[in-house]
């Protein structure tokens, strides 16, 4: 059971130990969801699932994460849904719906705190959120942005939102926060693109320079949007270092479909899988597992999802496993790099004059 994981440090298991524990839990979860979610049971039947043929984590069936956009997948009674988390899709796109009960929500938070604790310590700290408070307005529907922020609440001594509803910097709030916490250790959190666009660029234009050298800058949400402005992860760090003295960064990879199990970036710039989760990179041509160093489609495994069948998911991201158990930072487990979303398909044949146009 998952409780046994809580007794271990989040990056303490080496390959064999981790595989054994993870496999046992994932296999049990597969059976659990088969019994509790009829859509998932149909899926298993259609891929020819046979419990006896599941010998390693790689054998656990997986389905594309976009299934949460097409089907309501839950392994709990509808009346036990505590919150529904949605992915932040742009208007018109379908969004993922993830159904979480009270118990699962607690586990997600606990794991998030444990993983973050490994990087920033266990003490509660002040958090400056680079976003608008309205991102949390509809409490019954958490977007990916909202869910990440809510998750951080548990580690926050005080949480302050730095942006107004129109995404402009709330100067008053920002300065008050700094006055109070500038000299102590604090966390700045936001989505990569928002932090760059609505925080870095704004500070850069000001004549007054702020000293944020005591801050940990935690980001998430990927680099694609910034790459289109030719800003790399490295540029991002250098720029913030020069502008306001930030030298602690904590980027992370994660998704609303596996909330809690984040892949956080260590001092060496590697994203790490904790004991609660794992990554398999698969070859697009046959879904066979790639070796270390081979680029492929990222599959994520997590022991957390119990209220919905999200323990083994194929993402649409490309990534690579850089190594296992041997990152210079000392953390055990696989460490990865994410290249971002795969290019969407362009097919020949007859199709929309408008659909594929501008």
Residues with Cβ within 8 Å of residue 44, at least 6 apart in sequence: 30, 34, 61
Number of residues this chain uses to bind other proteins (CB under 8 A): 40
Q: Cβ of residue 135: shortest distance to other proteins, in angstroms?
A: 29
Note whether 91 binds other proteins by CB under 8 A.
no
Note whether 43 binds other proteins by CB under 8 A.
yes
Q: Cβ of residue 69: shortest distance to other proteins, in angstroms?
A: 10
The smaller minimum CB distance to other proteins, of residues 72 and 211, is found at 72
Do strands 125-129 and 186-191 pair parallel, antiparallel, or not at all (unpaired)? parallel
**15, 35, 47, 94: which one binds other proteins (CB under 8 A):** 47
Enumerate residues 169-198 that contact other proteins by CB under 8 A: none
How many Å separate Cα 57 from the centre of its chain?
21
Question: What is the rounded distance in angstroms from the CA atom of residue 340 to the CA atom of residue 337?
Answer: 9
Region binding other proteins by CB under 8 A among candidate stretches 124-132, 152-160, 255-263, 283-291: 283-291
The smaller minimum CB distance to other proteins, of residues 49 and 82, is found at 49
Note whether 349 binds other proteins by CB under 8 A.
yes
**23, 40, 193, 249: which one binds other proteins (CB under 8 A):** 40
Q: Cβ of residue 285: shortest distance to other proteins, in angstroms?
A: 5
Phi-psi region of 245 (alpha: psi -120 to 50; beta: other; left: phi over 0): left
- What is the per-residue binding string for other proteins in 129-168, x denoting contact by CB under 8 A? ----------------------------------------
Question: What is the rounded distance in angstroms from the CA atom of residue 82 to the CA atom of residue 140?
Answer: 9
The smaller minimum CB distance to other proteins, of residues 251 and 318, is found at 318
Taking alpha carbons only, the member of 309, 336, 314 closest to residue 324 is 336
Q: Cβ of residue 70: shortest distance to other proteins, in angstroms?
A: 5
Note whether 347 binds other proteins by CB under 8 A.
yes
**21, 28, 32, 39: which one binds other proteins (CB under 8 A):** 39
Q: Is 302 exposed, middle or buried (0-12, 13-18, 19+ CB in 10 A)?
A: buried
Backbone angles phi, psi at 301, to 5 degrees: -115, 140
CA distances from 331 to 8, 208, 216, 271, 294 (A): 13, 39, 19, 11, 21
The smaller minimum CB distance to other proteins, of residues 66 and 83, is found at 66
Note whether 92 binds other proteins by CB under 8 A.
no
Residues with Cβ within 8 Å of residue 279, at least 6 apart in sequence: 263, 273, 298, 299, 300, 301, 319, 321, 334, 336
306 token code pair: 């119990």
Question: What is the rounded distance in angstroms from the CA atom of residue 24 to the CA atom of residue 39?
Answer: 23
Note whether 46 binds other proteins by CB under 8 A.
yes
Enumerate residues 224-263 that contact other proteins by CB under 8 A: none
The smaller minimum CB distance to other proteins, of residues 63 and 161, is found at 63
* Angle, alpha carbons 179-190-99 (nearest 5°): 130
228 token code pair: 């289109």
Q: Cβ of residue 21: shortest distance to other proteins, in angstroms?
A: 28
Note whether 286 binds other proteins by CB under 8 A.
yes
Enumerate residues 297-316 that contact other proteins by CB under 8 A: 297, 314, 316
Taking alpha carbons only, the member of 119, 301, 333 closest to residue 218 is 119
Region binding other proteins by CB under 8 A among candidate stretches 65-73, 173-181, 244-252, 258-266: 65-73
Note whether 358 binds other proteins by CB under 8 A.
yes
Q: Cβ of residue 39: shortest distance to other proteins, in angstroms?
A: 4
**24, 89, 121, 284: which one binds other proteins (CB under 8 A):** 284
Give the 3-state secondary structure of 114-178.
Answer: HHHHHHHCCCCEEEEECCCHHHHCCCCEECHHHHHHHHHHCCEEEEEECECCCCCECHHHHHHHH
Strand partners, 63: 313
Can you give the binding site for other proteins, defined by CB under 8 A?
39-40, 42-43, 45-48, 63-64, 66-67, 70-71, 73, 284-287, 297, 314, 316, 318, 342-358
């Amino acid at each position: 059971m998952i409780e046994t994981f809580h007794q271990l440090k989040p990056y303490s298991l080496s390959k064999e130990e981790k595989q054994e524990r993870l496999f046992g839990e994932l296999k049990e979860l597969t059976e659990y969801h088969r019994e509790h979610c009829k859509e998932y049971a149909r899926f298993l039947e259609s891929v020819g699932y046979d419990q006896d043929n599941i010998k390693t984590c790689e054998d656990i069936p997986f389905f594309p994460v976009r299934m949460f956009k097409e089907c309501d997948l839950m392994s709990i009674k509808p009346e036990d849904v505590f919150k529904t988390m949605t992915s932040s899709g742009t208007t018109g796109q379908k969004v993922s719906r993830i159904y979480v009960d009270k118990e699962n929500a607690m586990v997600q938070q606990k794991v998030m705190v444990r993983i973050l604790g490994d990087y920033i310590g266990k003490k509660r700290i002040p958090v400056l959120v680079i976003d608008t408070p309205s991102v949390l307005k509809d409490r019954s529907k958490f977007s990916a942005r909202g869910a990440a922020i809510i998750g951080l609440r548990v580690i926050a001594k005080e949480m302050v939102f730095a942006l107004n509803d129109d995404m402009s910097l709330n100067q008053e709030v920002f300065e008050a926060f700094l006055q109070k916490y500038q000299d102590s250790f604090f966390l700045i959190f936001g989505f990569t693109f928002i932090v760059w666009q609505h925080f870095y660029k704004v500070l850069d234009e000001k004549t007054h320079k702020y000293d944020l050298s005591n801050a940990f800058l935690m980001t998430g949400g990927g680099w694609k949007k910034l790459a289109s402005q030719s800003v790399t992860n490295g540029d991002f760090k250098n720029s913030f270092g020069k502008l306001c003295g930030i030298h602690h960064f904590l980027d992370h990879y994660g998704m609303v479909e596996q909330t809690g199990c984040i892949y956080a970036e260590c001092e060496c710039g590697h994203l790490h899988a904790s004991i609660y989760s794992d990554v398999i990179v698969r070859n697009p041509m046959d879904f066979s597992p790639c070796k270390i160093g081979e680029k492929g489609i990222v599959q994520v495994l997590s022991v957390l999802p119990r209220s919905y069948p999200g323990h083994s998911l194929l993402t649409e991201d490309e990534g690579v496993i850089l190594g296992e158990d041997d990152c210079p930072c000392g953390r055990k487990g696989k460490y990865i790099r994410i290249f971002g979303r795969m290019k969407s398909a362009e097919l020949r044949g007859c199709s929309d004059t408008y659909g594929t146009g501008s």
